[in-house]
Structure 1
């Protein structure tokens, strides 16, 4: 399994700031932020599965355009996996014929261009030799991360979250955790904003890292563009046990599992 970072910024502004999306092999997306717009039409047509962490636009902005662009060029629907709460939000507020067509009813309910599949913590989706399982997260809307298991180990993606005891426990339960992609959206000076928005600041992230039992390679994501340099300094100021394993996530990075 090969995972490529299409976007990992907490905002937009030039090629360096593309919002969250991970391409798994050629056919799976984890989130569907603006980084997806960098893919060719041929690459977009190959996407069969999209896993969403939550309903915020920076993580799904390109989903409506993806479906609209490729749907009539494909012989089967795209399957969208998310929590039932997130799918309910999308049905009510996005695929509602007002903001965007309801592709679950085009051309009809029996032959849709988009299929929605609820998936929750405790369940696993098997796609060939690949296994994708939700992990808990705690954000301002219903949210979950994902653990991606390949033949060589597991990569976990926190999604958007604040400190979440259940997520820490889930990460510690993954015996073959090779990589952890985890967010830090606001600098320490904006701790109140981080708490209100249910994101991590670097100091909060450091406390989470101190609670991890294993030694995965850790890549920090979701920096707000206007604070990226400060966030990088504050994240890398960590001096705990996992400091040699701590990195910043970048567009185009790849992981093999």
Structure 2
């Protein structure tokens, strides 16, 4: 399984930076996890390969690129784009984004091939298929209904928390799965902003360390979703953790598991 965190910010030379304002992962080139930078960080060719998008929740940094992505492909879509998400997330998209006030309601539109978007509601803890992947959505603890994911391609398994604060069910489920290849866990704020992290339902390096004590697998752990203005201090605080090595997932790099 190949996974890449798509870039969200470029410098004056047009080079991707470590600043991650949006969340969007690409798996094996054809499945997207979240859609924050999906429209801006993919070429025309890459866009045409992506048939499925799995949304962890409806916050803007995870869905921002979805309307433009669909718009870019509108005329050429020969089959509906499949959007897999919780019912609550789908409802939020239809009421607050695709509502004709912010952006067209693509679910009401057609091109010459037929429908544009196909919503696939998710049931937590019930396995579902996305392209060549089997996934399990696991509810996590965030301000809005949110899920983490256990993703299996038949050869390797990875777990992604999505946005969350301290949570329980996520760890219980992934601990029952053998041969876990990697865990991607959020770490949005530095330790000094613990109160803000708690109020917004995110993790800091200290609370992340406590969460990892619940993990029974000895597998690589990668920190994701670092707020860009605190990237350097969070990275340094993660380096100081002695209980377990935690690597910050590099933007734009292909990881193979």
**What SS is found at the alignment partner of 1:223?**
coil
Q: Deviations over 1:47-76 (max 9, x none)?
A: 110000010111111100000001211210
Partner of 1:132: 135
Measure the CA separation in 1 of the matches of 2:131 and 2:110.
Answer: 29
Q: Does 1:212 align with 2:210?
A: no
Deviation of 1:128 after TM superposition, in Å, equals 5.0
Q: Does 1:59 align with 2:70?
A: no
Q: Does 1:229 align with 2:229?
A: no
More helix per residue? 1
TM-score (norm 1): 0.92
Deviation of 1:114 after TM superposition, in Å, equals 0.7
Measure the CA separation in 1 of the matches of 2:124 and 2:217.
Answer: 21
Partner of 2:32: 29
Partner of 2:256: 256
| Shift in alpha-carbon separation, 1:128–1:68, aligned structure 2, 3 A | closer
Partner of 1:96: 99
Over the aligned positions, Cα root-mean-square deviation in angstroms equals 1.8
Q: Deviations over 1:166-209 (max 9, x none)?
A: 11212212212111111110111111000000000110000011
Partner of 1:3: 3
Counterpart contact for 1:21–1:36, Cα < 8 Å: no
Aligned residue-pair number? 250
**What SS is found at the alignment partner of 1:219?**
strand
Counterpart contact for 1:136–1:170, Cα < 8 Å: no
| Shift in alpha-carbon separation, 1:63–1:153, aligned structure 2, 3 A | same
* Unpaired segments ≥5 residues, structure 1: none
